[in-house]
């Protein structure tokens, strides 16, 4: 595999906080790498160093000659210009006609309905798509993607997965979306002090990485135990030999000190730190917290949903799903008393305590110190009736006490998200309303949050595009977007398997024996269709390539329409191929 970039003993710190130290790895042609690490471990900083946007403290980087790089940032912003002009501002090769053609083809691949939309007014998800198109304008050999699934709805995430699977791009992506990593990556790199030299590299999918990491950490733990036992024997020998040493015995003493240093290093690596999240329930015994009847809402003449009937009790975990614009946040705000329904009634238990986490989140002033952000009322916070000093409160969220005077503006997005969760936990609740609470959180924090939400004594209403979290937490799903209709599902997996054909939730009845689901065999015609599928796809791919070449010579609306139609036929063939292959 041809190396594109090689990183040699790279180190980076901000003040006294070390992000990473002496890390080394290589990105080769064809690599599809997921970059993981806890919030504040330096993932975004590493991408910027690889792009030449920041300088490392130590180490160096070698790149293949004439290597072209593309970079899609975590939170792209655009001026008030049309989308095509944004792409044409990029410094790329080719004449004006070739660059315009490339820009329009990329906007078509990103599913933009037109080329004249105001980039500054795009939603977060469409800004992500435009930023990806901008990164691809230079036809890069290697693409860097920083949290590309943030602000995308499920349809957008699925589109991005398909795009990355089909396009022949080498990339390194920072993401905490576990299903996304599983579907698009063939190698995982994790930055963590738990590993020698602060880095762990695993070939294969995300699930392969999880297995390999568990094996490595278990072996490292066994190594610590072995050295501890051997060191105990050496220390006993030292106690029994207090007199002058021979050359041989002095060598043994030196080896003992080396073992002690190795043991300290292993202890530090094996020390697992996790965010301590525990949502504060009010322990209410009321069985019915919120009940809705025929709730409907219309905005600007558009019916979002109607006749919504729900009951939330302690232990309920309701997920709200649907495309952007179908009214997910609107329904969440209605249930949490931030909006009123147009029609219908909502009954709340007496003195109900509602806590709301907004997807846009409160803005933490950049000059505010970490100490002030975590404990705005002094040196102590009141958590579940118990005073906790700010040092202890900071440690619960993986902040070292020596960083308490650090301004918030120097923290990563994930670290700022942890501050907001810390504030959220100080409020006792009967019902938690969470609108995209997982953006920017690292995977270990997500796993702790999942467990805390499952253990929470009240009810939870959740909107999230993190499919893994929804699948593990939610006990009921309401799907919006079937016209103005909605449907209830038993769990998130059921909604995923039938997103366009709602299946009403049914009570589970005991079954004497589990049924074995057998895949249906292909019919004769389906088998013939499958056998010829590769040839059909190849033909369409050649047609697309021919149209793209023709567009370089002349630009007509008809050619662009033909190209879009050919791309749609290719996508339909891939979907049909996938269906037939999974049927038998």
Could you report the per-residue pLDDT of 284-309, keeping only the tens digit for each? 666 789 999 999 999 888 888 989 99
Percent of the chain with pLDDT over 70: 86
Could you give the angle at the alpha carbon of 300 between the alpha carbons of 298 and 304, nearest 5°?
Answer: 30
pLDDT at residue 327 tops 80: yes
Which sequence spans correspond to the domains of the chain?
3-194, 227-270, 290-371+406-497, 524-583
**CATH number 1.20.1340.10 is the correct assignment for the domain at 290-371+406-497:** no
Query: 3-class DSSP state for residue 56?
Result: coil
Q: Regarding beta strands 354-357 and 431-435, do their DSSP bridges make them parallel or antiparallel, or are they unpaired?
A: parallel
Q: How many CA atoms lie within 13 A of 521 on its CB side?
A: 2
Residue 483's pLDDT is what? 58
Residue 290's pLDDT is what? 93
Residue 342's pLDDT is what? 94
Tens digits of per-residue pLDDT, 428-476? Answer: 889 999 988 887 788 888 888 888 888 888 899 999 888 888 888 998 9
Residue 8's pLDDT is what? 95
End-to-end Cα spacing for the chain: 35
Q: Regarding beta strands 302-312 and 290-299, do their DSSP bridges make them parallel or antiparallel, or are they unpaired?
A: antiparallel
Least confident of 54-63, 232-241, 387-396: 232-241
pLDDT at residue 559 tops 80: no
Rounded Cα gap, residues 176 and 465, in angstroms: 11
Sign of CA dihedral 264, 266, 267, 272: positive
Tens digits of per-residue pLDDT, 188-207? Answer: 999 998 888 889 999 999 99
Rounded Cα gap, residues 36 and 192, in angstroms: 9
Rounded Cα gap, residues 531 and 537, in angstroms: 12
Could you tell me which residues are beta bridge partners of residue 63?
Answer: 5
> Encoding tokens for residue 472?
């593990």
Average pLDDT, the chain: 83
Rounded Cα gap, residues 511 and 489, in angstroms: 20
Tens digits of per-residue pLDDT, 138-166? Answer: 899 999 999 998 878 788 888 899 889 88
Query: pTM of the full predicted structure?
Result: 0.72
Note whether 355 and 431 are within 8 A (CB).
yes
pLDDT band at 363 (very low <50, low <70, confident <90, very high): low
Rounded Cα gap, residues 53 and 48, in angstroms: 5
pLDDT band at 558 (very low <50, low <70, confident <90, very high): low
**Domain range 3-194, CATH architecture:** 3-Layer(aba) Sandwich (3.40)
Fold agreement (3-194, 290-371+406-497): yes
Note whether 331 and 321 are within 8 A (CB).
no
> Encoding tokens for residue 64?
């293949």
pLDDT band at 70 (very low <50, low <70, confident <90, very high): very high
**Which residue, among 224, 228, 184, has the nearest Cα to 206 in the 3D structure?**
184
Output the CA–CA distances (angstroms, integers) from residue 41 to 268, 269, 375, in the order listed. Answer: 16, 15, 24
Residue 500's pLDDT is what? 52
Tens digits of per-residue pLDDT, 211-220? Answer: 998 888 888 8
Residues 6+ apart with CB under 8 A from 90: 134, 137, 138
Note whether 200 and 190 are within 8 A (CB).
yes
pLDDT band at 553 (very low <50, low <70, confident <90, very high): low
pLDDT at residue 401 tops 80: yes
**Which residue, among 517, 557, 444, has the nearest Cα to 36 in the 3D structure?**
444
Sheet arrangement for strand 17-28:
17-28, 3-14, 58-63
Residue 206's pLDDT is what? 93
Sheet arrangement for strand 199-203:
69-72, 142-146, 170-174, 32-37, 187-191, 199-203
Tens digits of per-residue pLDDT, 111-128? Answer: 888 888 899 988 888 898
**Which residue, among 197, 204, 203, 144, has the nearest Cα to 170 in the 3D structure?**
144
pLDDT band at 323 (very low <50, low <70, confident <90, very high): confident
> Within 10 Å of residue 504's Cβ, how many Cβ atoms?
8
Q: Which residue has the higher pLDDT, 268 or 465?
A: 465
**Which residue, among 527, 432, 483, has the nearest Cα to 326 in the 3D structure?**
483
State the average pLDDT over residues 28-44: 92
> Within 10 Å of residue 534's Cβ, how many Cβ atoms?
11
Tens digits of per-residue pLDDT, 77-115? Answer: 999 999 999 999 988 877 888 888 889 888 888 888 888
């Amino acid at each position: 595999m041809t190396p594109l970039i090689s990183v040699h003993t790279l180190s980076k710190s901000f003040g006294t906080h070390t992000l990473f130290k002496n890390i080394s790895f290589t990105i080769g042609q064809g690599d599809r790498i997921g970059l993981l690490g806890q919030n504040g471990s330096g993932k975004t900083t590493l991408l910027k160093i690889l792009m030449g946007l920041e300088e490392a403290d130590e180490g160096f980087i070698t790149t293949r000659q004439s290597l072209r790089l593309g970079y899609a940032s975590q939170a792209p912003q655009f001026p008030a210009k049309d989308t095509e002009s944004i792409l044409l501002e990029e410094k790329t090769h080719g004449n004006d006609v070739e660059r315009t053609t490339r820009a329009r083809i990329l906007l078509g691949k990103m599913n933009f309905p037109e080329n004249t939309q105001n980039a500054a007014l795009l939603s977060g998800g469409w800004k992500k798509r435009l930023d990806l198109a901008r990164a691809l304008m230079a036809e890069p050999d290697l693409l860097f993607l920083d949290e590309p699934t943030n602000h995308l709805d499920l349809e957008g995430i699925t589109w991005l997965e398909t795009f990355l699977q089909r396009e022949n791009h080498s990339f390194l992506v920072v993401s905490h979306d576990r299903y996304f990593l599983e579907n698009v990556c063939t190698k995982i790199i994790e930055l963590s002090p738990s590993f020698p030299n602060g880095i762990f590299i695993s070939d294969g999918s995300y699930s392969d990485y999880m297995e390999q990491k568990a094996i490595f950490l278990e072996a490292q733990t066994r190594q610590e135990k072995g050295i501890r036992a051997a060191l105990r024997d050496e220390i006993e020998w030292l106690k029994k030999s207090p007199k002058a040493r021979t050359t041989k015995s002095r060598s043994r003493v030196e080896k003992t000190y080396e073992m002690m240093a190795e043991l300290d290093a292993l202890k530090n690596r094996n020390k697992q730190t996790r965010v301590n999240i525990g949502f504060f329930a009010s322990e209410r015994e009321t069985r019915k917290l919120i009940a809705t009847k025929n709730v409907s809402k219309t905005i600007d003449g558009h019916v979002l949903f109607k006749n919504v009937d729900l009951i939330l009790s302690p232990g309920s975990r309701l997920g709200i799903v649907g495309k952007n614009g179908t009214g997910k946040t609107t329904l969440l705000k209605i249930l949490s008393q931030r909006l009123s329904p147009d029609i219908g009634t909502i009954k709340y238990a007496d003195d109900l305590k509602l806590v709301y986490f907004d997807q846009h989140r409160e803005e933490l002033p950049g000059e505010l110190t970490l100490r002030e952000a975590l404990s705005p009322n002094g040196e102590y916070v009141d958590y579940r009736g118990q005073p906790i000093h700010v040092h202890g409160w900071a440690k619960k969220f993986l902040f070292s006490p020596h960083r308490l005077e650090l301004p918030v503006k120097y923290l990563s997005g994930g670290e700022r998200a942890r501050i907001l969760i810390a504030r959220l936990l100080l409020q006792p609740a009967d019902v938690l309303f969470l609108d995209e609470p997982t953006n920017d959180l690292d995977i270990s924090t997500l796993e702790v949050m999942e467990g805390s939400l499952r253990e929470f004594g009240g009810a939870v209403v959740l909107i999230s595009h993190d499919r893994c979290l929804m699948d593990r937490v939610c006990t009921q799903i309401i799907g919006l977007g079937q016209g103005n209709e909605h449907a209830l599902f038993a769990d998130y997996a059921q909604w995923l398997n039938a997103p366009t054909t709602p299946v009403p939730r049914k009570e589970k009845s005991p079954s004497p024996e589990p049924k074995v689901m057998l895949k249906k065999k292909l019919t004769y015609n389906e088998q013939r269709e499958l056998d010829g599928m590769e040839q059909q796809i190849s033909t369409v791919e050649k047609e697309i390539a021919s149209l793209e070449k023709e567009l370089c010579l002349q630009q007509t609306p008809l050619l662009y329409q033909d190209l879009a139609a050919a791309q749609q036929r290719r996508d339909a063939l891939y979907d049909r191929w996938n269906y037939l292959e999974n049927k038998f």
